[in-house]
Chain A
Amino acid sequence: MNDHSFTGGQGVAAMACSAELRVAPGTGLRAERALKKYDAIVIGAGHNGLTNAAYLAKSGLRVAVLERNPYIGGATVSRELFPGWTYSNCSYVCSLLRPEIARDLELPRHGLQVVPYGGGVTFKRDGDYYGNYYDHNRQYREMARHSKRDANAYERYATDVMKQTRLIRPYLLRRPPDPTSLKWRDLRDLAGFARSFTEMGEEGLADTLKFWTKSVGDYLDEYFETDVIKAHLGGTGVIGTALGVYSPGTAYVLLHHYMGDVDGNVGSWGFARGGMGAVAGALAKSFQAFGGEIICDADVYQIMVRHGRVRGVALADGTEYHADIVVSNLDPKRTFLDVMDPADLPEDVVRKARNFKIRGSSGKLNIALDGLPTFNGLDQGSPLMLGDMHFTDSLQRLERAYDDWKEGTWSKDPYVDMLIPTQTDPTMAPPGKHMMTVFVQYAPPRINGKDWTDADKAGFEKSVIDQIAAHSPDFRSLILHCETRTPREIEAEVGLTEGNIFQGELTFDQLLFNRPFPGYAQYRGPVRGMYMCGSGTHPGGGVMAAPGANAAREILADLRRPDVVPGAYADD
């Protein structure tokens, strides 16, 4: 690695004078402050930052991860806010986490266990429901109860979706090829991509384009006639996205939720035992086993740049950490508009960062329950309750929920993705007690153009609890504690701009070689030594760890070090 020659005092003086360091308000620069040097610094101890850092450390680099919060995890976090109950405060289910990474970084040995759940149900307003079974023939029977044609069409739908997941899955653990580049590696990757694309045939090709551009509503309308079935399947098309079920591009978001797997079962989802923080915890232990260092309460104020290359980072408290490699796990807006000085950046990057689509659209309730609630029409403890539960029984209601977002307010009749993980995980609440995680779509980043107030937050919370209580007579009386997170809390605590859970919307204009923006989709930033590893890069959001791993591969290639990042398992 490059040998820095400046000592603490000189270095600080130089930095302070060169105007490369913005001075944080109220923070005086003191000559005697700490100066630490690493080979690489990763900003943000979310799952991608930790994955990236683990691979850099595995390769033998001296790596530090700086985390603003007193705890690690970013949006992959579990906290005990009510004694005896652990919440998965942000992300709450696991499917996309790449098994190649979990195995390679020995995450099971470091305490991670991903446990699949079955079930799933959408309750209807008429007292009936549509339930989901893993077993195909039971699934058929349940669908046929609503529509025999839909039950049969589902087989065609499942095949078509599987074709699309087969196309995309091999690219999750690879950098996206740049079509404008003439480098042999890009040309080779592009040729490979074109080959798998054309192998799908004319029909498959047309389907692919449809999938990447269509609305989830239009897509489902092609297969199904029953409202509740379409609503049950369609919800994932808008999760975390400031679009409605009839907005173009949402079909891909549905695919994004299908392309993961638990132990090879593509499309199935699970819980991290002990909460999603177990993912971050295991990654941290793996990173530390390679000699890595995690520094909490380290609020990065600026990435320091000199003569067109990074020199390290400065914290809000004035502490500096020096490194020739700085990797940002922050979203593209925070990276380029917040912790970097526009003067250090090409003008087009600043403009693209400003235009980057990262709109807040969701909120979350985490609820401690005194017992397992009963739901109208279902036996208590029905296996359908093991999975994702919803109360929105038509795409029309989903679209109306989006109308509220456009109006600048939370959905009065929201779409919720609700789970009770403690039916599967014995570690998150006392025996017989339960924890409920309620993801809520939609919640805008601002209410009618103004910041969220506590009264707004209470109103948001009420609309969710009212909806659940309308289907569960004992729900309200079982509530012991509720953590409510609007985009305001998500942004303030996790740092995601507008509280967007994916670090930027998963629309086609922001995917593959366009994520986060054209020319910068291969994890390299516009300044030498600066990289991006968050969900704002390919292949996008969700607790996948692929962006972090892919970024590490590029960094190691630039350093001409051996590739220690695993490739994807052969497709099957």
Chain B
Amino acid sequence: MTSKSNPAMMLCTPFHSRVAAACELNAWGTWKGYTTPRAYTDVELEYFAIRSTTGVFDLSPMNKYRVTGTDAEAYLNRMVTRDVSKIRLGRVGYTVWCNDAGQVMDDGTIFHLGENDYRVCAFARAIDWMHWSALGFDVEIVDESDEVAALAVQGPTSCAALLAMGLDGLEQLKPFGLMTFPFEGTTLTVSRTGFTGDLGYELWVSPDKAELLWDRLFAAGKPHIIKPFGSDALEMARIEAGFLQAGVDFVPAESAVRNGRSRSPFELGLAWLVDMDKPVFNGRKALLREQAEGSRYRFALLDVDGNKPAQHSFILREGKKVGTVTSAAWCPTAKTNVAFAQLEMPHGKVGEELVAEIYYQRELQWTRVLAPCRVIDAPVFNPARRRATPPGDF
């Protein structure tokens, strides 16, 4: 996974030869020092691959940390807000973890791969902090970010495409489940997870088998209309599905310079991830205090009138600013104009009517619109196929 000659060059993922060949637009971005495509052919068509057929996303640069040892569960249980003992063997759990002040450091997933064997996937680099917080636990923590290549295979025909690739029995895999398959002398791990809110899977494989996996997948997926997608299409899908993006919708606590800019899980609408029945975990005391005294902010999903995305908008109530938008998009499948907002308490109760102050530019002229919006109770896209097992052919 390293650049062969020049250490100054951005890195390429194990799929790069295939990604580059498919990236007609040469629209490259970077992710954690890797060269990754923003778009391959057309952002809208890539987005619709996720929503109508199968889209494939190279997520190899994701931070991956392997946690093993007799105290692995106890260690993770202290680290994250969820009860890790409830993530059974062969299952994956979405969670957040906080600092001692109860502020969210990151969100991610924990894969229960084996007895005393876990993988943590994280947006932010966390190896240093994970080692610090391991003091007193019998665990080994290894950064395996470069040792595992990964593809997200997402969309209504994704199960059919993977079955066609020979992953027998995959249709029985439930959401957040894990399966393994032999693959060219190595193991292919498949989790029913993703960041698109649709039916979808993530494939984890040794980097030296990455290109082979790509080729097999695209050959088998062809009749099921498979296409690669870049980060721009992913951004549309995750907003439509109501998924927070670390670094966009919240500042990872340990990287916040200014006091008060980080957020607690309650303030991000993630209370359901916090298990207060656990006697000890990072940030518990602070979160108990917040429960008693009240939060400063509330995360709100907004349905905004009109078709102008409320990007970076102020949210007003009776003309007074009560919050800001962190993510916003016109959602092409839900045909709704959605925004994620951080609102000052007590604003943001479901049904509350607010106004988004939207600025947009057309041919160098800026226009300001005050778009009515209301707080909605659930993401605008949440299809039944995302939960169905078996999921069906499309």
Contacts and interface: CB of A to CB of B under 8 A. Distances in A.
B209 to A, nearest CB: 26
Contact of B160 (A134, A263, A265, A431): A431
Contacts of B164: 431
22 contacts: A99-B335, A102-B335, A108-B333, A108-B334, A108-B335, A113-B333, A115-B48, A116-B45, A134-B42, A135-B42, A262-B44, A263-B330, A263-B332, A264-B307, A273-B52, A423-B225, A426-B53, A426-B156, A426-B157, A431-B223, A431-B224, A432-B222
Contacts of A423: 225
Contact of B44 (A107, A113, A263, A273): A263
Interface string B256-276: 000000000000000000000
B51 A432 contact: no
B52 A425 contact: yes
A167 to B, nearest CB: 15
Contacts of B25: 135
A113 B51 contact: yes
Task: Tell me the dominant secondary structure on chain A's binding face.
Answer: loop
A265 B44 contact: yes
B48 A116 contact: yes
A291 interface: no
A147 to B, nearest CB: 23
B157 A264 contact: no
B335 A118 contact: no
A572 interface: yes
Given A99-B335, A383-B41, A426-B156, A569 B225 contact: no
A542 to B, nearest CB: 18
Interface of A: 99, 102-103, 107-108, 113, 115-118, 134-135, 138, 262-265, 273, 383, 423-427, 431-432, 569-570, 572
A424 B42 contact: no
Nearest to A101: B335
Given A113-B333, A264-B307, A426 B48 contact: no
Interface string B362-394: 100000010000000000000000000000011
B308 interface: yes
A424 B52 contact: yes
A570 B372 CA distance: 13
A273 B49 CA distance: 12
Contacts of A117: 45
A207 B222 CA distance: 46
B99 interface: no
Interface in B234-266: none
B225 A426 contact: yes
Nearest to A99: B335
A385 to B, nearest CB: 13
The listed residue with most A CB atoms (<10 A of its CB), out of B51, B332, B335, is B335
Contacts of B44: 116, 134, 262-263, 265
A135 B23 CA distance: 13
Contacts of B224: 426, 431
A432 to B, nearest CB: 4
Contacts of A425: 52
